């Protein structure tokens, strides 16, 4: 019997897919018993395989996924995934900029962008002015009623203080 190989994700994937010979599968299982990281990868691969089998696709022939792609997905570290995601985002932004510039002078694009911004700001200013104009009469009436109430309170206060001073 051969000595179990060192960590080999490819072997773990083949074991999970049932693609190893009996001898290699036995060696791989011996290695899994001694190596917690490979055992974790094996368990994760079994979960992914179960998930893929449970997924119902419209066309049964479309279940075939390139094995190299399927095997590479769960093993990428978080840093590599973030690097690929940021690279894709940068390329998307560069492509969007190239499509939006399509023969346009960048200075014209900047001026147009500022024009759009100014239109939004002036639109908000118009909305605020219209709101104040519409609410103006209501505010004026509320202030007038408040002033009349204040005058009534002052008159009542003065009347009661004079009355008390006369009685005293």
Q: Is the pLDDT of residue 65 over 70?
A: no
Mean pLDDT of 72-101: 79
Cα–Cα nearest to 65, from 12, 25, 13: 13
- Give the tens place of pLDDT for each residue, 3-55: 445 788 888 888 888 888 899 989 989 999 999 999 998 998 888 877 777 76
Please state the domain extents for the chain.
Answer: 9-75
Crossing angle of the two packed helices 9-17 and 36-54, in degrees rounded to 10? 40
Residue 39 has φ and ψ, to the nearest 5°, of -65, -40
Q: Which residue has the higher pLDDT, 4 or 113?
A: 113
- Long-range contact pairs involving 17-25 (C-beta distance under 8 Å, separation at least 24): 17/49, 17/67
Confidence (pLDDT) at 58 = 46
- The DSSP secondary-structure symbol of 75 reads G
Q: What is the pTM of this model?
A: 0.34
3-state secondary structure of 6: coil
Mean pLDDT of 133-161: 93
């Amino acid at each position: 019997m051969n000595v179990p190989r060192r960590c080999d994700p490819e072997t773990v994937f083949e074991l999970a897919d049932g693609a190893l010979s009996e001898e290699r599968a036995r060696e791989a299982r011996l290695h899994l018993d001694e190596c917690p990281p490979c055992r974790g990868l094996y368990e994760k691969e079994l979960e992914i395989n179960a998930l893929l089998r449970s997924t119902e696709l419209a066309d049964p022939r479309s279940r075939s996924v390139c094995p190299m792609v399927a095997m590479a997905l769960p093993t990428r570290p978080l840093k590599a995934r973030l690097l690929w995601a940021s690279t894709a985002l940068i390329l998307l932004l560069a492509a969007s900029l190239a499509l939006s510039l399509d023969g346009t002078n960048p200075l014209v694009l900047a001026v147009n962008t500022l024009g759009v911004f100014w239109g939004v700001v002036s639109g908000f200013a118009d909305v605020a002015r219209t709101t104040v104009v519409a609410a103006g009469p209501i505010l004026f009436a509320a202030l007038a009623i408040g002033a009349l109430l204040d005058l009534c309170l002052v008159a009542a206060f003065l009347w009661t203080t004079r009355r008390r001073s006369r009685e005293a």
